[in-house]
Amino acid sequence: MDRWKYFDITHKRHLLCNPMSQEKLERFCSLLRLPQGARVLDIACGKGEYLVRLAEIYSASGVGVDISPFCIIDCKEKHRERVPEADLVFLEMDGAKYEPDVPEAFDLSMCLGASWVFKDHRGTLKALKGMTKPGGFVVVGEPFWLKEPDNEYLEATQMTEDDYRSHEENVLLGEEEGLTSLYTIVSSQDDWDHYETLQWWAVNDYIQSHPDDPDNQELLERSMKTREIYLRWGRDTLNWAIYVFRKS
């Protein structure tokens, strides 16, 4: 089954493609206090909600990059419907290959929940820092361990313990890269439950409305496996936060 088709189906009901509530989204946008007309970059922008929301609030312009063709369709539709006058560009491409026309071009550069684009948390911070103006914001969404993961959990997810760090280490790593840590927004268990279980609902909706899709069996099996992993281990082991840094 196509990876991006699977992601599109499982996230059909989501406003944000990460475990963050709408209330926390609104808090994050409000706290930024961007200058009117600020320029924003969003790598792995998902459905484009962050970028469109900032255009609504601050008349921001900017670039959203995502490798999923389904996400880019969603982004362009949202742009057209909500802020057609905004200078927003959405690009379907590997975020690691994106280069701005000039370095240090953005007032805010972010990658929320897709540090794999730049290999890891440190690589993401380095890449975004290079595209951000002095005094601008570098914002990363990154998982962290709540406790030492069980071996069975690591085997089931094909992860290693080194894939993520603690919440403290995520903050300190940014400071090691010369950034100033300003703020964090941490997901609650309710945020995670909403994010994970809404995928179960979306899969059920899809199978009900597309009974003849040959991918349905794989879709259901993958969804059931993900559900089991989350309920058995992930819910008590892994969390997620948005980290807000300022570039000197």
Residue 132: phi and psi, rounded to 5, are -110, 140
Give the pLDDT score at 73: 97
Half-sphere exposure of 238 (CA within 13 A, CB side): 23
CA dist 163 and 205 (Å) reads 33
> CA 58 from chain center: how many Å?
21
pLDDT at 159: 96
Predicted local confidence at residue 178, as pLDDT: 98
User: Which domains does the chain show, CATH number per domain?
Assistant: 20-188+240-247 (3.40.50.150)
Angle CA(136)–CA(182)–CA(147) in degrees, nearest 5? 125
Using DSSP's 3-state secondary structure scheme, residue 47 falls into coil
List, for residues 49-64, the tens digit of each pLDDT value: 999 999 999 999 999 9
DSSP states of 194-217: HHHHHHHHHHHHHHHH-TT-TTHH
Low-confidence stretches of the chain (pLDDT < 50) are none
> What pLDDT, on a 0 to 100 scale, did the predictor assign at position 36?
96
- pLDDT the model gives residue 82: 98
**pLDDT score, position 203:** 98
Residue 53: helix, strand or coil by DSSP?
helix
Per-residue confidence (pLDDT) for residue 182, from 0 to 100: 98
Listed in sequence order, the residues at least 6 apart from 61 whose beta carbon sits closer than 8 Å to its beta carbon are 37, 38, 39, 40, 55, 86, 87, 88
Which residues, in sequence order, are CB contacts of 85 under 8 Å at separation 6+? none
Task: Answer for the pair 241, 47: CB distance below 8 angstroms, yes or no.
Answer: no
pLDDT digits (tens, 9 = 90+) for 59-79: 999 999 999 999 999 999 999
